[in-house]
Amino acid sequence: MTTTLRDIPQVQKLLLEPHIAALVDRFGQDDVRDAIRDRLAELRAAILNGQEVDVQRLASAETAGALEEQLARAAKPVLGPVINATGIIIHTNLGRAPLAPSVRAQIDAVAQGACGLEFDLKTGERGRRGQGATTLLRKLTGAEDALVVNNCAAAVLLALTGLAGGREVIASRGELVEIGGAFRMPDVIAQSGAFLREVGTTNKTRISDYAGAIGAETAVLLKSHTSNFRMVGFTETPDRAGLAALAKAHDVVLIEDLGSGILIDLAAHGLAREPVVRDVLKSGVDLVLFSGDKLLGGPQAGILAGRADLIAALRAHPMYRALRADKMTLAGLEATLRLYLAPNDPMQDIPVLQRLGCTLETLRARAEYIVQGAGEGLDLCIKESAAQVGAGAMPGTSLDSIAIAVRVPGQSAKETAARLRQADTPVVGRIKDGTLLLDMRSSGAEDTPGIVAALRGLVA
């Protein structure tokens, strides 16, 4: 007896079958109906191809199980947690800085309902947005005032639009950087309505180059951190104090785009030296711009810190209204900044800094624990590796690290990597010289169970 199209049951009937009805309770009628329709379409095609099919199986527990898996996969948020085992600590594609528990709790608290975003609880009057973060920024950087926008790119755009629009910005040829994601300094300056005047050469720019270029139309001297590259050999850039004196003498504003601003001296912790915001301001820079989610270790934000009159002008600029940060960002930033104050220890309490400073012994112990927990059937090997800070911070600096090399018999590194990305909590590693590596420095201790589960899943 051959099956015909007529034998295919109606969707409405299938929805009432007990196994399927249970799915409707969980995933809702619409999604289950769509999933069944897809399956019926496949059956129809099979029948028209002359294949023998068993329509009774449609209502079976086996089919319901397959449907459940499909529906659960579709119901999973597209943007969900991932374990960063790439070896790049601040990975822009993976959401940059992981946040500390107290920071997450504060974001959750203000997300729940109303908060005093622009409300002064003491007076009952309208208050200033981001007051908590601003107060801490002043304390931690010595700035007169500060302003928070959505990211550092927005900070650069706002500062140049507000302070140099229609006038001239002088920048060194060696600092006209492209950060990535279409952020190219000459284009941003053009977008701000300012005119770029390039000075110096690719490798050498002196104070005299700036001095020779300053004219009546000059509004801003712009210094930028060459975040994602490093020049070696015969190079020269003017020191900040010299540039600051020049700016002051000509009554123009000195702005520095630091990119990954940092609030503490990392060199004191045995890491590469990066300019500390407080020192940059002390050397006379009028306005410093930096990210909230690079080395600072907080939520995505752009921070402008410096002279009170400049901040006041930018706060009043219409573009600020379009770029200002929301309550969750401001709550997360304030809570992150608090971790820089005693009795907290930023090197321990801020996940990005904790990962930077984590000892090799700790990383190795975690790798050993993971290898033991992963069970039989895999070829796992603990090796020394090199991690990076990422997000354009400390270019060319590599950090000693420990990685687990994962081999599954009969499977390519690419296939294994793809399977780890399909785990309940996806694990993203990196392939080096044909070997899949799970680097320990870019993830945290709390990721250990997830890595073990994903590895176990490879042999299940």
Give the footprint of ligand PLP on this chain (CB under 6 A): 151-153, 156, 179, 183, 224-225, 227, 257, 259-260, 291, 302, 392
Minimum distance from residue 202 beta carbon to ligand PLP (Å) = 17
Give the Cα separation of 431 and 81 in Å (integer): 21
**Element of type H or E holding 22:** helix 18-27
State how far the Cα of 25 lies from the Cα of 32, in Å rounded to an integer: 10
Closest approach of ligand PLP to the CB of residue 154, in Å: 7
Alpha carbon 452 to chain centroid, angstroms: 24
State phi, psi for 151 to the nearest 5 degrees.
Answer: -165, 175
CB of 301 to ligand PLP, least distance (A): 8
- Please name the residue ranges forming H helices in 142-184: 152-164
Q: How far is the CB of 291 from ligand PLP (least distance, A)?
A: 4
Q: What is the dihedral of CA 55, 57, 59, 62, to 10 degrees?
A: -150
Tokens 């301001």 sit on residue: 281
Q: How far is the CB of 261 from ligand PLP (least distance, A)?
A: 9
- Provide the pairing of β-strand 427-428 with 430-432: unpaired
Q: Using the minimum distance from each CB to ligand PLP, give the nearer residue, 145 or 257.
A: 257
Cα gap 316→319, rounded to integer Å = 9
Token pair recorded at residue 137: 């920024």
| Closest separation in Å from C-beta 288 to ligand PLP | 11
CB of 321 to ligand PLP, least distance (A): 18
CB 404 within 8 A of CB 384: no
Whether a cis peptide bond, with omega within 30° of 0, leads into 275 is no
Please give the angle made by the CA atoms of 354, 397 and 275, to the nearest 5 degrees: 75
Choose between 227 and 385: whose C-beta lies nearer to ligand PLP. 227
Those residues whose C-beta lies under 8 Å from the C-beta of residue 78, and which sit 6 or more positions away, are none
Cβ nearer to ligand PLP, comparing 183 with 369: 183
* Residue nearest ligand PLP, CB atom distance: 259
Strands, sheet with 168-172, edge to edge from the N-terminal-most edge strand = 145-149, 302-306, 287-291, 253-259, 218-224, 168-172, 195-199
Which residue, 63 or 151, is less far from ligand PLP as judged by CB?
Answer: 151
Shortest reach from residue 444's CB to ligand PLP, in Å: 22
